[in-house]
Structure 1
Amino acid sequence: MKIKNIFKNTTQMNTDNTEKEPIESANENAANEIETAEELSVEAQLQEDLAKEKDKFLRLFAEFENYKKRTAKERIDLFRTANQEVLQALLPVLDDFDRAMVQIAKSEDELLLKGVELIHEKLRNTLVSKGLEQVEVKAGDDFNADFAEAITQIPAPSEALKGKIVDVVEKGYKLGDKIIRFPKVVIGN
């Protein structure tokens, strides 16, 4: 009987252990699944954070590239128009030379005319070398407010000159693409 009892107890223990093993195994599986889910959740969060940081980096990089392009363009524009104030100050001198040339041409002094022409050309060539260009408008052209400034309107001498430029009072000049002084014109009405 003792052997039977021992056998029964051993069998019962084995049965208890076999019942505990699936429970423990299930608990371990559940714990492993939770750990795996947590790892996947952490990994997904890290991937999301990485994607956000990459996006932030790309935007910052693009913004910096735009800044570099903008400042380079501003620097080039500054170099192009750096002499603008000096050239604008010299424009009245150039106008005076043009008026002097007209008056000297009326005199009979050839040497005076030749000397003033040389100085006038030297000044004009120097200003042109610095980027100054004359805005071309002449009598008979259509008036365009983007390229000329109308100082007055007079009755048109003919029907063909209505709404057109009758006279150019003051020449206009541009530095590069920018007009620094608009030509002053008279328009036929």
Structure 2
Amino acid sequence: MNENEKQVTQENQQTVEKLQQEKEELLRFTKELKAQFENYKKDVLREREQILKNANEYLLTKLIPVLDDMDRAFKDVEQSHSYKTFYKGVELIYKKLWKILNDEGFFKIEVKDKFDPFEHEAVERVETTEHEEYSILKVIENGYKFHNKIVKPVKVQVAIKPRGEQSAKTE
């Protein structure tokens, strides 16, 4: 082997060693980055759980006076045996509860005359000619929104045209 070939081989060897070193550095960096990312994911999950816990605690703290009022109402009816005042008391507590819920962005869906598939769920259809088609005849269960997001649709009874009437018009 001549001097020139030795030098090329030595340079190649140095290049291989340098590349191997860079590869090991990159692997070490990649492992470290992966570990940091895993820790970040755990931290975010822990933080999200803590936020949820704090939000629940906040709402529950606001509901404590309602529970206290209910306790007082039950004690009062046991002592006075007056269900008329008990009813009035529970009515006031109910209004207080709704005030708290409304302040937090929770609302009862107001039902209008026409069926709205975004806010209502038709659980019963009634064939009738007395009402306009898709008119709401009856509210079966109330529905609720939380910050304009439907959390439970209103369950309603809806008017539809009688089946015989539709086929008679097409004949």
Task: Give me the TM-score of the superposition, normalised by structure 1.
Answer: 0.50
Q: State which of 28, 32, 37 in structure 2 corresponds to 1:57.
A: 32
Structure 1 Cα separation of the partners of residues 21 and 97 of structure 2: 70
**What is aligned with 2:80?**
none
Matched, 1:152 2:124: yes
Structure 2 Cα separation of the partners of residues 68 and 175 of structure 1: 28
Gaps of 5+ in 1: 1-22, 91-108
Whether the 8 Å CA contact 2:144–2:154 is kept in 1: the answer is yes
Distance 1:140 1:71, change over 3 A: farther
Gaps of 5+ in 2: 67-83, 161-171
Query: What is the aligned-residue RMSD (CA, Å)?
Result: 4.0
Structure 1 Cα separation of the partners of residues 90 and 42 of structure 2: 50
Matched, 1:188 2:159: yes
Map 1:13-28; keep pairs closer than 5 Å.
Answer: 26-27=2-3
Deviation at 1:41, TM superposition (A): 0.9
- 1:126-148 CA deviation, whole Å, 9 max, x = no partner? 4445x46223231313331x533
Structure 1 Cα separation of the partners of residues 112 and 43 of structure 2: 46
Deviation at 1:49, TM superposition (A): 2.4
Matched, 1:134 2:112: no
Identity of aligned residues (%): 21
1:168 partner amino acid: V
**What is aligned with 2:13?**
38
Q: Which has the larger radius of gyration?
A: 1
Whether the 8 Å CA contact 2:123–2:155 is kept in 1: the answer is yes
- 1:91-122 CA deviation, whole Å, 9 max, x = no partner? xxxxxxxxxxxxxxxxxx9x898656533322
Whether the 8 Å CA contact 1:142–1:164 is kept in 2: the answer is yes
Structure 2 Cα separation of the partners of residues 52 and 38 of structure 1: 21
Whether the 8 Å CA contact 2:119–2:150 is kept in 1: the answer is no
How many correspondences in the alignment? 136
